[in-house]
Amino acid sequence: MKTQRASLWLLGTTLVLCSVYTHGFRRCLISVDMNQLEESFQEIKRAIQTKDTFQNITILSTVETLQSIKPVDVCCVTKNLLEFYMRRVFKDHQELKPQILRRISSIANSFLYMQKTLKQCQEQRGCQCSEEATNATRIVHDNYDQLGIPSAAIKSLGELNIFIAWIEKNHQATSV
Ligand SMILES: *[C@@H]1O[C@H](CO)[C@@H](O)[C@H](O)[C@H]1NC(C)=O
Ligand SMILES: *[C@@H]1O[C@H](CO)[C@@H](O)[C@H](O)[C@H]1NC(C)=O
């Protein structure tokens, strides 16, 4: 138990040091295989998007604010969107095809891992949610509620690429 705790502590410290030194501002790095995540999305994309009958509306990308989120709010918005997918989208979606379900489960596993990594990082540095970040999150939930299940879940799955790009941009060491 003791060694486990020590190595967790070490991991946390390493993550913090890495992000502080590489970026100089409050940014939590998430080490997940983004290629694998993108591959999983590509596998489900066609199946999901053909089921999406509301091509004229969007849940994530109406958040123009997602583009204008300030660096200080990145942590909060990522945390909230991970929660949104874990607590609502993945739970609400009823998938009948096993091969699609496997991919969705794989994405959900990656998200769970991201939540844990992010939490460790946030506990050490705090993760404030400004009014702007809270508003941006509320817009996503409002869009979701307006569309209703199951359409909203399908649309959100189809828009995973938007969120994946966001993570890549904000939480990967290789991004600028
Ligand atoms: C989007 O399209 C659906 C049907 O295709 C329609 O019922 C709905 O009113 C449209 N919504 C908007 C915001 O245009
Ligand atoms: C957040 O939303 C509320 C209610 O819609 C609005 O009054 C407020 O100006 C918004 N704040 C920011 C910072 O966008």
* Mean pLDDT of the residues in the chain: 84
Note whether residue 146 is domain-resident: yes
Range of the domain at 114: 2-171
Tally the domains of the chain. Answer: 1
Q: Which ligand is nearest to the CA of 53?
A: 1
> What's this model's pTM, rounded to 2 decimal places?
0.81
Instruction: Give pLDDT tens digits for 144-173.
Output: 999 999 999 999 999 999 999 999 989 988
Note whether residue 69 is domain-resident: yes
Note whether residue 176 is domain-resident: no
Choice from 130, 135, 140, 142 to test ligand 2 binding pocket (greatest atom count within 8 A of CB): 135
Report the CATH number at residue 14: 1.20.1250.10
The dihedral sign for the CA sequence 63, 65, 70, 73 = negative
Residue nearest to atom 6 of ligand 2 (CA): 135
Note whether residue 25 is domain-resident: yes
Note whether residue 82 is domain-resident: yes
Note whether residue 42 is domain-resident: yes
Instruction: Give pLDDT tens digits for 44-77.
Output: 999 999 999 898 889 997 656 677 888 889 999 9
Note whether residue 156 is domain-resident: yes
